[in-house]
Chains A and B, each alone.
Chain A
Amino acid sequence: MAINFLYPDYEVARNCDRCIVCRACERQCANEVHEYVDTLNKMVCDDAKCVNCHRCVSLCPTRALKIVKSGNTYKENMNWSGKTINEVYRQAGSGGVLLSSMGNPEEYPIYFDKILLNASQVTNPSIDPLREPMETTVFLGAKPHNIERGEDGRIKNNLPPQLKLSMPVMFSAMSYGSISYNAHESLARAAEELGILYNTGEGGLHEDFYRYGKNTVVQVASGRFGVHPQYLNSGAAVEIKMGQGAKPGIGGHLPGAKIVGDISRTRMIPEGSDAISPAPHHDIYSIEDLRQLVYSLKEATDYKKPVIVKIAAVHNVAAIASGIARSGADIISIDGFRGGTGAAPTRIRDNVGIPIELALASVDSRLREEGIRDDVSIIVGGSIRSSADIVRAVALGADCVYVATSALLALGCHLCRSCHAGKCNWGIATQSPELVKRLNPDIGYKRLVNLMTAWQHEIKEMMGGMGINSIESLKGNRLMLRGVGLNEKELSILGIKHAGE
């Protein structure tokens, strides 16, 4: 047998004084880490298979389990970390590209954590959201430049189609296929109850979910899976996916093994065939080409639905966004380099793209300078972790944010980052029926509603503290932000002052 170079990353620590040998851990771990030995009436485990998803930890009725970082270490080296060495070993063994899932976990600056919010003192009063009305509703879509009057002198309704959201949040694209039916149902039901939208991702829309149409963004991606006229018309908006923050410049690949039953039907491709989304849209090589697709989709939906164009935050994002704003798109969505994914090549995920905070600030500034900011709304995603991040994003110029990872966390995800293995113990990133069943949408949707309701309260509190009673007055209000520990260049791109200034 060849030498195994890899020592397990985690160890399953079982407190045998507390373990009552109920075997729930064994039954709930799809990675088959735990095993009952009847001759000893004891549980044993194989740490090497553990992905650190905490399913067993959360279900153990006596709190007998925890997962700890393996203490095994290589000789310390600031240049060659244990992780880097292991990746070399892994590739030397497999000869393959490294795969990862969820967002970029590496140590890059998180600008949101270096931006502080303002509050009123003495000179302008803060507002108590529990006593006074506070508006968090937003409308997304192009806004007309001027008032037009008809022959009779009356104001003409020249407002292009808008999306109305009860708060500046939407659940971002996650396809049926990358996540489970029950995860989709949870998102759709929560969006409906909250008065916001969720997004089909590129996998088409399951027939059961057409009823949530007015709370759905239907996506058109480079693979065009599941796209047909009824699909386009069933949603509240259509999103053209040009790029994704976790893997800019890269397409997608859902292996044939996952294209079964409903998924194959929904994607409109044969069972067992690989679903390959090309890296580019093969009919889009310029803004003019993009404009053609934008208008084809508007034509197909009778000019009744806003069209969103989603791009990854890359180096010249401001210029690209400017082009998109001129392409006829109603909304631009920008996905930062921390954005999640069901599977991406590790090197792309961890090394390509730019932080969403910088991308947002530069896009907003550029569109303002060019006088076209009102032609589009801006949605940003790529690791919005809390209501405070939303407030910061809106103050930097966003109309709305996309959240996905936090939504999955609400559903039980523990960020084990092994979605690509298809054995999600929480029933989210999997299609195997016995695992999908673990996510009961009756429980899941309620948790999503709770999370967003809590965030909405917090947004109101933070706005109230600043003396602002409407999210519209916060939008692009960068004076409400101050940087800490940022250099001149960073401050100038973010368009904010340093704390103390």
Chain B
Amino acid sequence: MKRVYVNEKWCLGCHLCEYYCAFAGTNETDMARALKATIKINPKIKIEEKDGVSFAVSCRHCKEPLCVKGCITGALTISADGVITINHDRCVSCFTCILSCPYGAVSPSEDGAVQKCELCVKTAKGQPACVSGCPNGAIVFEERG
């Protein structure tokens, strides 16, 4: 399956991917309108940076996902195409998944369930917004064995 991969060599630490992610989540058409009122965005992709090195971290869509294994209500599942998705209605915010994900790719959200990258499959565009918004090819969406 196609996944989001990181080329940290080209990451500029501009954090734009985070903003494009937050924007994608709103399903608005204009980023200014979508995010203007937000003081602090809560994206599903996050930039890790230290000593001049930076890279984007989001869900790896593991073949054997610990978050899915740990989920006590079955809210996290692997869909037919391999994307690990969250069912908001089932999530009880126990945060077991947040503790078990080795990449820190699951995070709390404001709407009563956890949130994680679902490769933008549920958004209007249907394609990873972080990848198309990255100015330097530092994250790519591709098939890699």
Binding site for B on A (CB under 8 A): 17-20, 22-24, 27-28, 41, 59, 61-64, 433-434, 437-438, 440, 442-443
Contacts and interface: CB of A to CB of B under 8 A. Distances in A.
Contact of B38 (A20, A63, A434): A20
Given A41-B39, A437-B9, A24 B32 contact: no
B137 A24 contact: no
A59 B16 contact: yes
Interface string B17-45: 00110010000001110011011000000
A375 B127 CA distance: 58
B13 interface: yes
Given A41-B39, A437-B9, A22 B15 contact: yes
B87 interface: no
A59 B10 contact: no
B15 A18 contact: no
B78 to A, nearest CB: 32
Contacts of B135: 59
A469 B12 CA distance: 47
Nearest to B137: A440
A20 B20 CA distance: 12
Interface of B: 9-10, 12-16, 19-20, 23, 30-32, 35-36, 38-39, 52, 133, 135-138
A438 to B, nearest CB: 6
A236 B106 CA distance: 55
Q: Is the interface of A mostly helix, strand, loop or mixed?
A: loop
B38 A59 contact: no
Contacts of B14: 24, 27-28, 59
Contacts of A63: 32
Given A59-B16, A61-B16, A440-B138, 20 more contacts: A17-B36, A19-B32, A20-B19, A20-B31, A20-B35, A20-B36, A22-B15, A24-B15, A24-B19, A27-B12, A28-B14, A41-B39, A59-B14, A64-B32, A434-B52, A438-B12, A440-B10, A440-B136, A440-B137, A443-B137
Q: Which of B15, B133, B135 has the most chain A CB within a 10 Å cutoff?
A: B135
Contacts of A27: 12-15
A442 B137 contact: yes
B13 A61 contact: no
B35 A23 contact: no
Contacts of B39: 41
B133 A443 contact: no
Contact of A22 (B9, B10, B16, B138): B16
Given A61-B19, A61-B20, A442-B137, A20 B12 contact: no
B10 to A, nearest CB: 5
